[in-house]
Amino acid sequence: MINTYHSSLAPPPVPPRQTGSHQVLIPAPYPSKGHSKTLVRFLVGVALLHLFLSVGGFIYLYLRDEKETSATFTEGKPEGKAAARSAAPSQEALAHLVVDNETAKKSISGYLQWDFNHSNLTHINPFLKSWLTILKPGNYQVYSRVTFTNGDTKGHRTIPLTSRVKLKMSMTGEEKVVMTAYCHLDMHRGPETIPGMCTATQGEFIRLEKGNQLSVWVQDLSLVDYDKEATTFGMYKLP
């Protein structure tokens, strides 16, 4: 009998033949346990070294900054008890004025003028030639010393000479007297009057606000002793 049945399926592929040039993959051997331990120890050592260097660098920078800060703070300052005696805060407002010896020639208003180029001012501003402007509000110790002399002038002065500290609340504010002092000038020896001197000294605690202005007025500018140690004006802010 003739088989007439035909299948549409293709025959299975023939496997390739192995030749001498065919490469066989051989798996690489795993690293030994001893090699792994050495690598781990090396990495741990590097990490610890980095940690120690970081901590050491931080400590060095911290100590250096502390030393520089301490040196800056103490530079030029006395130590021990001397430092305690000079504990007045250098950054507080203060003024110590040197009188201008040309005041009598320049001023006709009775206000003393000051040599601001040779005066000490901290957080207080000069205004014109006679006034000081407050920049920091607070309680101030204000002082004034005006020395009068009659020189070679003749005649008797039966009334005392006057020195006043005046205050303005602002640049254009009204003036008011906050301190007054007197002194007698003439000295008598028999029927004659000899040259004499007297000093009107005053000091007061005054509450001052920002923008307030202070000045010193005298009765007769021509009788003022313009020595810088004899006639002064100043103030300092209390802590």
Residue 54 pLDDT > 90: no
Residue 114 pLDDT > 70: yes
The dihedral through the CA atoms of 214, 207, 219, 227 has a sign that is: negative
Residue 73 pLDDT > 50: no
pLDDT-derived band at 27 (thresholds 50, 70, 90) equals: low
Which segment of 62-76, 151-165, 167-181 scores lowest on mean pLDDT? 62-76
pLDDT-derived band at 101 (thresholds 50, 70, 90) equals: confident
Check residue 57 and give its pLDDT: 76
Check residue 81 and give its pLDDT: 37
Which position has the higher pLDDT, 187 or 72? 187
Tell me which of 3.90.1150.10, 2.60.120.40, 2.40.50.140, 3.40.50.300 is the CATH number of domain 94-237. Answer: 2.60.120.40
CA angle 178, 183, 188 (to 5 degrees): 170
**Per-residue pLDDT tens for 175-192?**
999 999 999 876 555 555
Alpha carbon distance 41, 79 (integer Å) = 54
**What is the SS3 assignment for the chain?**
CCCCCCCCCCCCCCCCCCCCCCCCCCCCCCCCHHHHHHHHHHHHHHHHHHHHHHHHHHHHHHHHHHHHHHHHHHCCCCCCHHHHHCCCCCCCCEEEEEECCCHHHHCCCCECCECHHHCEEECEEEECCCEEEECCCEEEEEEEEEEEECCCCCCCCCCCEEEEEEEECCCCCCEEEEEEEEECCCEEECCEEECCEEEEEEEEEEEECCCCEEEEEECCHHHECCCCCCCEEEEEECC
Alpha carbon distance 36, 45 (integer Å) = 14
Contacts of residue 130, Cβ cutoff 8 Å, sequence gap at least 6: 107, 109, 111, 112, 113, 114, 215, 216
Residue 87 pLDDT > 50: no
Q: Which of 93, 136, 131 is nearest to 237 (CA)?
A: 93
Which segment of 9-13, 20-24, 78-82, 139-143 scores lowest on mean pLDDT? 78-82
Which segment of 85-89, 168-172, 232-236 scores lowest on mean pLDDT? 85-89
Please report, for the chain, the start and end positions of each structural domain, with discontinuous segments joined by +: 94-237
Q: Which amino acid is at 98?
A: V
Which segment of 53-57, 146-150, 151-155 scores lowest on mean pLDDT? 151-155
Check residue 74 and give its pLDDT: 38
Check residue 8 and give its pLDDT: 52
Contact 98, 237 (CB under 8 A): no
Q: What is the pTM of this model?
A: 0.58
Arithmetic mean of pLDDT, 9-31: 55
Check residue 97 and give its pLDDT: 94
Which position has the higher pLDDT, 48 or 113? 113
Contact 167, 212 (CB under 8 A): yes
Task: Look over the chain and give the mean of its residue pLDDT values, rounded to a whole number.
Answer: 76
Alpha carbon distance 55, 53 (integer Å) = 6
Residue 135 pLDDT > 60: yes
* Residue 1 CA: distances (Å) to CA of 5, 113, 142, 172, 237: 12, 149, 144, 141, 136
